[in-house]
């Protein structure tokens, strides 16, 4: 199956704010960003999947009238840190997470391993379907988890993969993981 996975476009949130699962608005540049994406993406998807957060839902809607919204595609839950500036989170609170974000959960949130398990649960279920071409509209964390899954890289290295707003990744998801491959990054 041919899979296009895209990160939502720019958001109307100041740089440096932690907003994980908070439902934030898209930036005023959305229509221009959407026009560029529509010129670079096919228009014949068998199915469109999306995170239910509005920044993804709004981007997914122009590609299909029948979208499957899946909570597993939400961004990482940062718990008590949501909508705080990263610089305002006390060092003694954030340092353990910086040291081991894979297994250390944010206060009242989740860790990267939890995000990875949500993502791989979704991908394994998708793998069993008979779609030819799908679009997934989601978040940077889920996309990094997807690459870690496909390339079998350690989760601690996932943030070395840059994922820009509105960036599209294209891969083949086979019935067996031995036959998965990356097509391209746009």
State the CATH number of the domain containing residue 75. Answer: 3.40.50.1240
What is the distance, to the nearest Å, from the Cα of residue 16 to the centroid of all Cα atoms in its chain? 18
Q: Render each residue's pLDDT in the chain as its tens digit; 186 residues.
A: 999 999 999 999 999 999 999 999 999 999 999 999 999 999 999 999 999 999 999 999 999 999 999 999 999 999 999 999 999 999 999 999 999 999 999 999 999 999 999 999 999 999 999 999 999 999 999 999 999 999 999 999 999 999 999 999 999 999 999 898 888 766
Taking the model in full, what pTM does it have?
0.96
Total count of residues recorded for the chain: 186
**CA separation, residue 34 to residues 60, 62, 183, 185 (Å):** 10, 9, 22, 17
Domain of 81 in residue numbering reads as: 2-185
Radius of gyration of the chain (CA): 16
C-alpha distances (whole Å) from 36 to each of 31, 39, 57, 112, 166 are 9, 5, 17, 31, 9
Encoded tokens for 148: 């870690």
Rounded Cα distance, 102 and 117, in Å = 11
What separation in angstroms does the CA of 93 have from each of 73, 77, 89, 109, 115? 27, 16, 7, 13, 20
**Residue 18 phi/psi, 5° resolution?**
-90, 115
**Number of domains, the chain:** 1
Q: What is the pLDDT of residue 38?
A: 96
| The pLDDT of residue 186 | 61
């Amino acid at each position: 199956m041919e899979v296009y996975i895209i990160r939502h476009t720019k958001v109307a949130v100041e740089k440096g704010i932690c907003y994980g699962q908070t439902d934030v608005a898209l930036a005023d540049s959305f229509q221009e960003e959407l026009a560029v994406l529509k010129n670079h993406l096919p228009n014949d998807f068998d199915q469109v999947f999306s995170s239910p957060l509005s920044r993804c839902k709004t981007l997914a809607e122009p590609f299909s009238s029948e979208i499957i919204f899946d909570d597993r595609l939400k961004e990482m839950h940062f718990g008590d840190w949501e909508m705080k500036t990263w610089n305002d989170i006390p060092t003694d609170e954030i340092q353990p997470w910086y040291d081991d974000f894979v297994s250390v959960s944010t206060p009242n949130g989740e860790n990267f391993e939890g995000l990875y398990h949500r993502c791989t649960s979704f991908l394994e279920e998708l793998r069993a379907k008979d779609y030819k071409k799908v679009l997934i509209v989601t978040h940077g964390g889920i996309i990094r988890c997807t690459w870690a899954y496909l390339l079998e890289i350690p989760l601690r290295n996932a943030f070395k993969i840059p994922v820009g707003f509105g960036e599209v990744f294209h891969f083949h998801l086979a019935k067996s993981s031995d036959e998965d491959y990356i097509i391209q990054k746009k």
